[in-house]
Chains A and B, each alone.
Chain A
């Protein structure tokens, strides 16, 4: 019998979908354990990375899958279709696989869903695929009864080949941490929409496929990119905690260096929500060897999606697994968000 710690929940709750510790524990306890006995040649479920990487001759086949339940399905800056394509393309890119071979798309619809909305979503999927140089090669369609589902759920799977896999876990002491742009945009756009918040300024989701930006970064880094992750649910805080834990390094994050749009900062102060805890859908966090940091930063800034990139932190040997936030006036540990900040965000 499996030993159960005191914190094993008997039922699934919203926190298990929040992208933080509770979700990782659930995956580890329920899913990863069952498949650890069948080791794959490469990166499998037990690594809990953005996707899997399977050896294929001298190449790696990267596979990832993603379900999308965002509410509402249309929001400033994007929609569920763009989110699905970008999310999957980005999960591949975060493994170092920027050349997308193919995507699949499964759709589950609620009885009564508007045909016009469906066509709008389809067009968005098509446009975003074009932007990413990807295409959908197969799919599946199911309809459920009224009330059995809220509108629409999309699932996308992506595959891509790469010569070199970039894991979450490759950070070394001395590595610099780069974030490719402003944080918190997606989460606050959804939050403001749902709560009917009217703020001066434009709260827009940053949802976008990042494979071209990552392609530039990989080329500039020339092997010096040690780790990569997209800070989606749980925000920059969760992404960095996970990278630090998996890599066995400590990490000092300089709060003042992290780019945050003024309107996001204002919304954060107003709602008491830290932008570092809020989801992004068009940003990446990169770990880079120190000597290549400026070079990679310059390459990112030369790309339209990376103009606001910044070096925001440094890895250290002490405090392995922890993220230390330097606030400018003091220091503390940066914790991951507790529970579900905002369900159905992607």
Chain B
């Protein structure tokens, strides 16, 4: 058979190297013993981190006593009901809605965009905001891009808005901004989180310097990490080192992509188009400065100002009774696991999701379900 070295995919494998992984998990166990108490809980705030942790089965090699919790890192999941309602109402008014595929089945107060589509509304799945703008160019009808995602995705939305999109194109922004929600988690009464693993791709744009103020204020360390298994393991080793030495600071473990200042041009574009605003994150809380909304000078492409969107009509319909048992909120806040939910894997599965966490490929429940749940495999074989 083909020798492994002749495999063109082998280049990427340097970040998946088993001996290095074993050395790093050994270091995790030693550091945890040095810290001398358990459990030590750390949080990441990114669906891609959870994807990699689950896909590569890293929880089976984390030492017992190290809890790696996924926080509110799924932008689809934290999109609040009233935001979905706005898109559903617009779709019902005959406006064409373009959005990412994951958003279709996210439940609103009474229905999802998929339900609206089944009732005849026109909802288009797009892979990028640019594709939504292209769609607008092919029609005279109004096209609204229902924009979700964190600052990484918001940058792309900003770039399209700045590039003079067609006159029938507008944006319904449900974009969210991660740094403020880390403050919320840090300030939650009784929070167990002793350190954050920050998402490398978001930090590519914001720069790691953005976390310095957070560390100063909360005395909780932040380590920026990439998404390959060794990136995550090395990030966790660094995080335990910093927790152990008791000098909270920001460490950058993704230097091949992330700098202190980040991508200045992208930041300029982001803040030229958006302003941070307080708003609810589904299941979490009101997050001061957690929502990204269009600035006044972009009113002409802001769907909220271009259309009258009255969502109150949806509130007469009661939410489905199953949804009342859904604990997505606690899962996103990092205080519960999918396996704590009575619906997980039973009434709530990817084919028939009850909560947003089972809809999105970045949702904790969907990821756990996709990669076999989390039985303890540490002692097998």
* Residues of A bordering B, CB below 8 Å: 6-7, 15, 250, 252, 256, 259, 261-262, 265-266, 269, 272, 307-308, 310, 314, 316, 318-319, 322, 324-335, 338-339
- With A262-B7, A324-B380 as known contacts, state yes or no: A332 contacts B16, CB within 8 Å: no
Give the 8 A-B CB pairs with smallest separation, nearest first: A333-B372, A330-B57, A332-B57, A329-B21, A331-B60, A331-B57, A328-B18, A308-B1
Q: CB within 8 A of A324: which of B1, B16, B58, B377?
A: B377
Determine if A332 and B60 form an interchain contact, defined as CB atoms under 8 angstroms apart.
Answer: yes
Residue B316 lies at the interface, judged by CB distance under 8 Å to chain A: no
Q: Which residues of A contact B369 (CB under 8 A)?
A: 335, 338
Asked if A338 and B350 make an inter-chain contact with CB atoms under 8 angstroms apart, the answer reads yes
Residue with the highest number of chain A CB atoms closer than 10 Å, among B1, B370, B377: B377
**Bound complex: CA A328 to CA B57 (Å):** 9
Q: Which residues from chain B contact A324 at a C-beta distance below 8 Å?
A: 377, 380-381
**Min distance, Cβ B135 to any Cβ of chain A, angstroms:** 19
**Chain B nearest Cβ from A313, distance in angstroms:** 11
Q: List 30 A-B contacts (CB under 8 A).
A: A7-B349, A256-B18, A259-B2, A262-B7, A262-B8, A265-B7, A266-B8, A266-B9, A269-B9, A308-B2, A316-B381, A319-B375, A324-B380, A324-B381, A325-B57, A327-B55, A327-B57, A327-B229, A328-B18, A329-B56, A329-B61, A330-B58, A330-B60, A331-B60, A332-B54, A332-B57, A332-B372, A332-B377, A333-B375, A335-B372
Asked if A265 contacts B9 (CB within 8 A), the reply is yes
Chain A residues within an 8 Å CB radius of B283: none
A261 contacts across to B, CB distance below 8 A: 2
Contact in complex: A15, B351 (CB < 8 Å)? yes
Q: B229 contacts which chain A residues (CB < 8 A)?
A: 327, 329-330
Residues of B close to A319: CB separation below 8 A: 375, 380
- CB contacts (< 8 Å) of B346 on chain A: these are 6
Nearest CB on B from A308, distance (A):
4
With A329-B230, A332-B372, A338-B370 known to touch, is A316 a contact of B380 (CB < 8 Å)? Answer: yes
CA–CA, A301 and B370, complex, Å: 34
B307 at the interface (CB under 8 A from A): no
- C-alpha gap A103/B60 in the complex (Å): 48
- B380 contacts A335, C-beta separation under 8 Å: no
Q: A252 with B380: in contact, given A329-B61, A334-B372 (CB under 8 Å)?
A: yes
A267: min CB distance to chain B, Å: 11
A100–B267 Cα gap in the complex (Å)?
68
B371 at the interface (CB under 8 A from A): yes
Q: What are the residues of chain A within 8 A of B122 when measuring CB–CB?
A: none
Question: Do residues B372 and A327 form an inter-chain contact, with CB atoms below 8 A?
Answer: no
B373 interface residue per 8 A CB criterion: yes
Question: Counting CB contacts under 8 A, is B141 at the interface?
Answer: no
Q: Does B124 contact A (CB under 8 A)?
A: no
Contact of B137 with A by CB under 8 A: no
- Across the two chains, which residue of chain B brings its CB closest to A263? B8
Q: Is the interface on chain B under 10, 10 to 19, 20 to 34, or 35 or more residues?
A: 35 or more
Given contacts A265-B9, A324-B377, 19 further A-B contacts (CB under 8 A): A6-B347, A252-B380, A259-B1, A272-B361, A314-B381, A319-B375, A324-B380, A327-B57, A328-B16, A329-B17, A329-B21, A329-B61, A329-B229, A329-B233, A330-B57, A330-B59, A331-B57, A332-B372, A339-B351
Partner of B58 from A15, A310, A329 at Cβ < 8 Å: A329
CB neighbours of B60 from chain A (8 A): 330-332
What is the 8 Å Cβ interface bit string for chain B, positions 336-363, against chain A (1 contact, 0 not)? 0000000000110111000000000100
Q: What residues of chain B have their CB less than 8 Å away from a CB belonging to chain A? A: 1-2, 7-9, 16-18, 21, 54-61, 229-230, 233, 346-347, 349-351, 361, 369-373, 375, 377, 380-381
Bound-state Cα–Cα, A339 to B350, Å: 9
User: From residue B191, how far is it (CB to closest CB) to chain A in Å?
Assistant: 27
Report the Cα distance A220→B16, complex, angstroms: 36
For B380, list chain A residues within 8 Å (CB). 250, 252, 316, 318-319, 324, 331
Shortest CB-to-CB span from A290 to chain B, Å, is 14
Chain A residue at minimal CB-CB distance from B379: A318
**Cross-chain contact of A252 among B2, B21, B381 (Cβ < 8 A):** B381
Interface centre among A308, A310, A335 (most CB of B within 10 A): A335
Contacts of A259 in B (CB 8 A): 1-2
* Closest chain B CB from A328 CB (angstroms): 4
Complexed CA–CA distance, A326 and B18 (Å): 11
Contact B351 A338, beta carbon cutoff 8 Å: yes
In the assembly, what is the distance between CA of A335 and CA of B371, in Å?
6
In the assembly, what is the distance between CA of A256 and CA of B377, in Å? Answer: 18
CB distance from A274 to the nearest CB of B (A): 9
**Nearest A residue to B230, CB-CB:** A329
Cα(A333)–Cα(B57), bound, Å: 8
Which of chain A's residues have a CB closer than 8 A to the CB of B2?
Answer: 259, 261-262, 308
With a cutoff of 8 Å between Cβ atoms, the chain B residues found around residue A262 in the complex are 2, 7-9
The distance in angstroms between the C-alpha atoms of A346 and B61, with both chains bound, is 39
In the bound assembly, the distance between CA atoms of A326 and B380 in angstroms comes to 11
Instruction: Flag if A333 contacts B371 (CB, 8 Å).
Output: yes
Which of B7, B230, B347, B371 is A332 in contact with, Cβ under 8 Å? B371
Compute how far the CA of A339 lies from the CA of B55 in the bound complex, rounded to whole angstroms: 19
Using Cβ atoms and an 8 Å threshold, which residues of chain A touch B371? 332-333, 335
Residues of A with C-beta under 8 A to B230: 329
Q: Which of B1, B17, B61 contacts A330 (CB 8 A)?
A: B61
Asked if A328 contacts B351 (CB within 8 A), the reply is no
